[in-house]
Amino acid sequence: MVGGKWKLLILRQLYGGPLRLSALRSTIPDISEKMLIQELKILVENRLVHRENFGEVPPRVAYSLTDRGELVKPLIEEMIAFAERYERT
Amino acid sequence: MVGGKWKLLILRQLYGGPLRLSALRSTIPDISEKMLIQELKILVENRLVHRENFGEVPPRVAYSLTDRGELVKPLIEEMIAFAERYERT
DNA sequence: CTTCATACCCACCAAAAGGTTAGTACCGCC
DNA sequence: GGCGGTACTAACCTTTTGGTGGGTATGAAG
The pLDDT tens digits for A18-47 are 999 999 999 998 999 999 999 999 999 999
The CATH number covering residue B35 comes to 1.10.10.10
* Residue in A with minimal Cα distance to B79: A75
Which nt has its C1' nearest the CA of A61? Answer: C7
Phi and psi for B23 in degrees, rounded to 5?
-70, -40
Q: Quick count: other Cβ atoms within 10 Å of Cβ B20?
A: 15
Q: Which domain holds residue B78?
A: 7-87
CA dist A51 and B54 (Å) reads: 57
**Is the pLDDT confidence value at B18 over 90?**
yes
pLDDT at A57: 86
Position A35 scores a pLDDT of: 95
Q: Is residue B2 assigned to a domain? A: no
Q: Residue A39: inside a domain, yes or no?
A: yes
> For residue range A2-18, what is the model confidence (pLDDT) as tens digits?
999 999 999 999 999 99
Q: Which of B71, B79, B87 to mutate to test the interface with A (most CBs of A within 10 A)?
A: B71
Over range B18-45, report the average pLDDT.
95
Q: Is it the case that residue B58 has pLDDT exceeding 90?
A: no
pLDDT band at B76 (very low <50, low <70, confident <90, very high): very high
Query: Taking CB atoms and an 8 Å cutoff, what residues of chain B touch A79?
Result: 75
Q: In terms of DSSP bridges, do strands A61-65 and B49-53 run parallel, antiparallel, or are they unpaired?
A: unpaired
Task: Give how far Cα B7 sits from Cα of A9, A83, B13, B31, B33, Å.
Answer: 21, 16, 10, 11, 14
Q: Is A54 contained in some domain?
A: yes
Q: Is residue A1 part of a domain?
A: no
In a domain, B47, yes or no: yes
| Residue B43 maps to a domain | yes
Rounded Cα distance between A63 and A66, Å, is 9
Q: Which of A25, A24, A2, A20 is nearest to A79 (CA)?
A: A2
Domains contained in chain B, number: 1
Rounded to the nearest angstrom, the minimum Cα separation between B43 and chain A is 14
For residue A49, tell me if it sits in a domain: yes
Residue B22 lies in a domain: yes
With beta carbons less than 8 A apart as the criterion, state whether B67 and A89 touch. Answer: yes
Strand order in the sheet with B19-20: B19-20, B61-65, B49-53
